[in-house]
Amino acid sequence: MSTQIILPRILEIGAGASRKVGEMVRGLDCRRALIVTDKIMLQLGYVARVREDLKALNIDSDVFDDTVPEPTTSSIEAGVELVKNGQYDVIVGLGGGSPIDSAKAISILGKYGGNMRDYKFPRLVTELGLPIIAIPTTAGTGSEATRVTVITDDSNDEKMLCMGIGFMPTIALVDFELTLSVPARTTADTGIDALTHALEAYVSKKANAFSDIQALTAMKLLAPNLRRVFNNGQDRDAREAMMLGSTLAGIAFSNASVALVHGMSRPIGAFYHVPHGLSNAMLLPAVTEYSISAAVSRYADAARAMGLAQLGDSDAVANQRLMTELYAINRELEVPTPAQFGISREHFFKNLITKADQALASGSPANNPRVPTADEIIEIYKQLW
Ligand code: NAD
């Protein structure tokens, strides 16, 4: 049986990679760029730098900086209109996963029209929108190297998973120096998100020999550096390892899949506006505990890749250490419980069935090594509380 692997055409990785943006736009034979970003990127001076680098090569650019964290259908509308009415031939997505996902959606909707819901999974989006150059500033979602975008429908608070080669950036400029400014809380949330991508890709029913290599290498890079970047954001070596790890984790899950953590996480994010990485972090230990018996040796491999166990340790020992570590990470990186985050208990319990239905409908739980029923998902949500 063969496996199809989809990747960006160019991955430029390392310090200063983002400064190649002008060269890359020229290489695509494009002339007019729309930079899709957020206000923080503007404040940090990252947008000005990209524009300077474009201008130096006579490339015009405009900026759409109204993207929001966890993008919604309404938040991208103005960006879509800009593309419909402008003469852009390339989109630069600059920021964390939210601006990059917004850029992906704007690229497709701007060229082909329709509503985001029309492009929701299980439909596979094979249309080719405007080419995207993704410049991630978190480590992270890996969105710079995934064929996925996640957009929330404002009308019903559903986080819609949209997939297909149409959402794969043409070029990714992976520059860890841009992550030196990420605050500790976001550093923790995005770092655990990346670790979750790698772990879920590795235990996924859709795992394959290619995604396994990416996932194991990602875990090796991410696990020992999570605490380091949380405790010292200026640790360049640790930031570099996290950035590469998160891109590899993105490649891993994009070419395998995510699983139950992501399936259950999206409804929490959509209903209570919990940042994506944080809702994953809340769920990771409990979901792993639920799933571990169905993929004992896979989870043990993951524990070894994370440096928690040696080759000679039994799978049972490795898995015990994995569970201890996942709970320790949440404690030490100060991941709040849903209650500590401020979620209303009444609402959380009132819509357990809706959350479980949305989780199952996303398709991600079906890739989990242990496939849950709706009742089991509800039990895990309750346990989380
Ligand atoms: P984000 O993009 O929402 O950013 C979080 C906050 O950090 C924002 O306020 C942002 O301005 C700030 N920030 C980003 N980079 C910074 C920097 N370098 N310095 C200072 N502040 C910075 O967060 P995220 O976790 O990167 O992205 C989350 C989104 O990505 C969610 O919508 C999630 O669903 C999506 N996602 C997509 C994929 C995919 O494959 N497409 C995978 C996982 C998650």
| Number of residues that make up the chain | 385
77-81, 96-100, 129-133, 158-162: the lowest-pLDDT one: 158-162
Q: What is the mean pLDDT of residues 263-292?
A: 95
Bridge-based pairing of strands 132-136 and 171-174 is: parallel
**What CATH class has 10-179?**
alpha beta
270 pLDDT above the threshold of 90: no
The 10s digit of each residue's pLDDT in 1-58 is 899 999 999 999 999 999 999 999 999 999 999 999 999 999 999 999 999 999 999 9
Residue nearest ligand 1's atom 27 by CA:
97
The mean predicted confidence, pLDDT, of the chain is 97
Q: What distance in angstroms lies between residue 1's CA and the mean position of ligand 1's atoms?
A: 35
Atom of ligand 1 nearest to the CA of 69: 3
Identify the pLDDT of residue 1: 84
Q: What is the mean pLDDT of residues 98-111?
A: 98
pLDDT-derived band at 362, boundaries 50, 70, 90: confident
Pocket test for ligand 1, best of 67, 98, 132, 168 (most atoms within 8 A of CB): 98
Q: What is the number of other CB atoms lying within 10 angstroms of the CB of residue 330? A: 18
Atom of ligand 1 nearest to the CA of 250: 40
The 10s digit of each residue's pLDDT in 114-160 is 999 999 999 999 999 999 999 999 999 999 999 999 999 999 888 88
Q: Which residue from 230, 253, 227, 267 is spatially nearest to 360, judged by alpha carbons?
A: 267
Instruction: Identify the CATH number of the domain defined by range 184-384.
Output: 1.20.1090.10
Ligand 1 pocket list (CB less than 6 A): 38, 40, 44, 69-71, 95-98, 101, 137-138, 140-143, 146, 148-150, 178-179, 181-182, 186, 190, 193, 250, 276-277
Q: What distance in angstroms lies between residue 39's CA and the mean position of ligand 1's atoms?
A: 13
φ, ψ at 21 (rounded to 5°): -60, -40
Identify the pLDDT of residue 57: 97
Q: By CB neighbour count within 10 A (0-12 exposed, 13-18 middle, 19+ buried), where does 331 fall?
A: exposed
Q: What is the mean pLDDT of residues 329-336?
A: 97
Per domain, the residue ranges of the chain are: 10-179, 184-384
Q: Do domains 10-179 and 184-384 have the same CATH topology?
A: no
Identify the pLDDT of residue 156: 87
Residues ≥6 apart with Cβ < 8 Å to 66: 38, 75, 78, 79
Identify the pLDDT of residue 102: 98
Q: What distance in angstroms lies between residue 216's CA and the mean position of ligand 1's atoms?
A: 23
Q: Which residue from 147, 139, 279 is spatially nearest to 221, judged by alpha carbons?
A: 139
Atom of ligand 1 nearest to the CA of 70: 32
- Distance of alpha carbon 148 from the chain centroid: 9
Identify the pLDDT of residue 158: 85
pLDDT-derived band at 304, boundaries 50, 70, 90: very high
The 10s digit of each residue's pLDDT in 175-194 is 999 999 999 999 999 999 99
Side-chain-side CA neighbours of residue 66 (13 Å): 14
Residue nearest ligand 1's atom 31 by CA:
70
CA–CA separation, 73 vs 115, rounded Å? 8
Written in H, E and C, the secondary structure of the chain is CCCCCCCCCEEEECCCHHHHHHHHHHHCCCCEEEEECCHHHHHCCHHHHHHHHHHCCCCEEEEECCCCCCCEHHHHHHHHHHHHHCCCCEEEEEECHHHHHHHHHHHHHHHHCCCHHHHCCCCECCCCCCCEEEEECCCCCCHHHCCEEEEEECCCCEEEEEECHHHCCCEEEECHHHHHHCCHHHHHHHHHHHHHHHHHHHHCCCCCHHHHHHHHHHHHHHHHHHHHHHHCCCCHHHHHHHHHHHHHHHHHHHCCCCCHHHHHHHHHHHHHCCCHHHHHHHHHHHHHHHHHHHCHHHHHHHHHHCCCCCCCCCHHHHHHHHHHHHHHHHHHCCCCCHHHHCCCHHHHHHCHHHHHHHHHHCCHHHHCCCCCCHHHHHHHHHHHC
CA–CA separation, 335 vs 101, rounded Å? 24
pTM value? Answer: 0.97
Residue percentage of the chain with pLDDT more than 70: 100
Distances (CA, A) of 116 to 152, 153, 155: 9, 8, 12
Identify the pLDDT of residue 174: 98
The 10s digit of each residue's pLDDT in 214-264 is 999 999 999 999 999 999 999 999 999 999 999 999 999 999 999 999 999
